[in-house]
Amino acid sequence: MAKVFLACLVLISFAMAVSAARPATATADAPSAGNCDQDLQDLIANCQDYVKFPAEPKIPPSQACCAVIQRANIPCLCSKVTPTIEGIICMEKVVYVANYCKRPLQPGSNCGSYHVPGQLA
Reported as a pLDDT band with limits 50, 70 and 90, residue 53 is very high
Q: What are phi and psi of 111, to 5 degrees?
A: -135, 110
> What would the DSSP string read from start to end of 50-119?
HHBSSS-S--PPPHHHHHHHHHS-HHHHHTT--HHHHTTB-HHHHHHHHHHTT-PPPTT-EETTEEPSS-
Share of the chain above pLDDT 90, in %: 39
- pLDDT attached to residue 121: 65
Domain ranges of the chain: 34-109
For the chain, the farthest-separated pair of C-alpha atoms sits apart, in whole angstroms, at 42
Report whether 52 contacts 11 (CB < 8 A).
Answer: no
Mean pLDDT of 45-56: 95
- pLDDT attached to residue 5: 43
- pLDDT attached to residue 48: 94
Instruction: Give bridge partners of residue 111 from the DSSP assignment.
Output: 114
- pLDDT attached to residue 47: 96
Report whether 105 contacts 93 (CB < 8 A).
Answer: no
CATH class of residue range 34-109: mainly alpha
pLDDT averaged over the chain?
A: 77
The structure's pTM equals 0.71
